[in-house]
Each structure stands twice: as structure tokens, then as C-alpha cells.
Chain A
Amino acid sequence: MTSELVDFTLVSVALLGIGIYGLAVKRNFIRMLFAVEIIINAANLNLVAFGRFLPHSGGQTLALFSIAIAAAEVAVGLSLIIVAYRMYQNVDIADFRSLKG
């Protein structure tokens, strides 16, 4: 293995930046969920990379937990998208303002 820990962390930082850009710019609910997924994957990559280089099994274990919880988060997020789409016939979050005072 010739790649080093810093290479993996830099890829992870790049993915985090792309995810933050998506969350800041996009107003499409589904695209924002994509951005959240990208950020979660950046975190998982960091966990596994540090677990490999320490080396410690905790990194991989935590990454497995994180992947499973992310699956739950996506299920709830997608069902919220379906409910919001049924109510407003749109996926633009600027339209979801019935809770706005």
C-alpha cells in the first residue's frame, strides 16, 4: 500500500467541501439529500483510513455503525420527501414554509 493517510484525508476533505456546496446552493430536497450522503461518506472514509493506519479495529466498526444509521436516515428522509411532495406538489424547499411564522 503506497498511498498514505494524508491522501485519504484530502479526498475526504474534498468530498466534504462538495457536500457543503450542495447543501448551501441547492434548494431541491433530493439534491440536498445527495449532499448529506456525500458528507456522510467522507466521514466514513476518514474513519476507515484512520482505523487502518493506527491500526485499530474501532475505525471499521464505527464505519459499519455509521453506514447502518445512514441507511435509516435515508429511509426517513425519502419518506419525508414523498410526504412533502404529496402536500406541495414540489420538491423546492422554499415552498415548504407552512411552519414559518
Chain B
Amino acid sequence: MADAAFLALTVITIGSAIAALELRSLIYGSIALMGTLGGIAGFFFLLDSPFVALFQLAVYVGSIAVLILFTVMLVKRELIFKAIEDKRRKFAGIGLMLIVMVALGAVFLDSGIKTITTDDPPVDFRDIGTDFVTYYWPALILMGLILAGSVTGALVLAKREDVENDQRTS
């Protein structure tokens, strides 16, 4: 049964990743990106990692995808539907994609990864919580500071300079 779910998730994830890059409208593209991110969350469920899957759903599908949608809506209407791409590079890009896929895929298929299977029970999410507050606590604090700094930086960057103070308050 897991195999059918795996195949379905693979089709959804890869199909919507291609759609996110190739659909003409940026709005539909960002909705397709949501499909990719949700598909990855499904893979996390299949890998017995419900905590990471829910984190992925909350952070990626819930906030990042909506943030991208709102940014797309700020862009001019004709730019949303205009395909801006290097025509000359299209075939080179497809070739590069195929080379990466074939080369890395051959390396993985030829390596010992194929023989790795597991019957061990999945990692308990309580262990992850324990890891966070014991071993990784400096990294956790640093991550919080980086997040706060980057969000503040993003707000400062996006602030309009040309609006005068009196206009802003009125």
C-alpha cells in the first residue's frame, strides 16, 4: 500500500514542480509550488516523521507559499503572464537537467544505498525535542536570532523610502 502512496506522491511532487516552473501564469505557478511542498510533506509522513511533516505543512505550505502568492500579486498584471526566459538556454538547461539526473541517479543506483533497508522502529519525536534542548540548544538560539534578524532586515528592505513621514501618519 505504501508503494501506491509513494508513486502517487512522486507524480504529484515532480509534476507540480515542473508545473511551477513552466505554467504561464505566476499565480498558478505558485499554487503548483504549494503542491510540490505538500508532496514533500507527504513523503515525510511516509518516512514516519510526522513532526517534520507538520512543520513543513505549517511553515512551507502555510506561510511561505502564501507569502509568495502575495508578492506575485504586487507585480504588474502583464508581468505575471509573460514568460521571461532565455530561449537559447532552454535546450542547454534541459541537457544540464538530464545530465545531473542521469549522473547522480547512476551514482546512487551503483552505490550501496540500494541494499539499505531498515526494520528499526522510527525515531520518536520526543528524541528530537530532547536533542533540541540538550545538544543543539546553541544552534537553536542562533537560529532564532538569524530568523529575527532576517525578518527585520526584510521589513527594512521592503519599506518605502519615498513616502514622507507626514503622509504615513495621516
Q: Is B86 interfacial (CB-CB < 8 Å)?
A: yes
- A64-B52, A75-B151 in contact; A3/B120 too (CB < 8 A)? no
A64: min CB distance to chain B, Å = 6
Among B14, B21, B60, the residue within 8 A (CB) of A26 is B21
- A6-B109, A10-B105, A55-B120 in contact; A49/B47 too (CB < 8 A)? yes
- Total chain A interface residues with beta-carbon distance under 8 A: 73
Q: Which residues of B contact A49 (CB under 8 A)?
A: 43, 47
- Total chain B interface residues with beta-carbon distance under 8 A: 84
Task: Identify whether the interface residues of A are mostly helix, strand, loop, or mixed.
Answer: helix
How far, in whole Å, are A58 and B56 apart by their CA atoms in the complex? 17
Do residues A15 and B68 form an inter-chain contact, with CB atoms below 8 A? no
Among A52, A60, A74, the residue within 8 A (CB) of B51 is A60
How far, in whole Å, are A9 and B49 apart by their CA atoms in the complex? 16
Of listed A30, A56, A67, A89, residue having the most chain B CB within 10 A: A30
- Residues of chain A from 52 to 95 with CB closer than 8 A to chain B in the complex: 52-58, 60-61, 63-65, 67-76, 78-83, 85-86, 89-92
Do residues A41 and B36 form an inter-chain contact, with CB atoms below 8 A? yes
5 other contacts beyond A3-B6, A14-B101, A79-B153, with CB at 8 A cut-off?
A: A1-B47, A27-B85, A30-B26, A64-B128, A82-B74
Q: Show 8 residue pairs from A and B whose CB-CB distance is below 8 angstroms, ordered by the A residue.
A: A1-B2, A13-B105, A24-B96, A25-B92, A31-B84, A41-B37, A63-B52, A71-B59
- A3-B2, A11-B13, A69-B146 in contact; A57/B131 too (CB < 8 A)? yes
Do residues A76 and B131 form an inter-chain contact, with CB atoms below 8 A? no
Chain B residue with Cβ nearest A29: B84
How far, in whole Å, are A18 and B96 apart by their CA atoms in the complex? 10
- A53-B117, A65-B139 in contact; A2/B3 too (CB < 8 A)? yes
Do residues A34 and B49 form an inter-chain contact, with CB atoms below 8 A? no
Do residues B157 and A72 form an inter-chain contact, with CB atoms below 8 A? no
Q: Which residues of A contact B136 (CB under 8 A)?
A: 61, 65
Of listed B83, B89, B120, B128, residue having the most chain A CB within 10 A: B128
Q: Which residues of B contact A38 (CB under 8 A)?
A: 17, 20-21, 33, 36
B26: min CB distance to chain A, Å = 6
Q: Which residues of B contact A14 (CB under 8 A)?
A: 14, 101
Q: Which residues of B contact A70 (CB under 8 A)?
A: 60, 64
Do residues B79 and A91 form an inter-chain contact, with CB atoms below 8 A? yes
Hey, what's the 0/1 contact readout for B75-102 against A, CB within 8 Å counting as 1? 1100100011110011011101110110
Q: Which residues of B contact A21 (CB under 8 A)?
A: 21, 93-94, 96-97
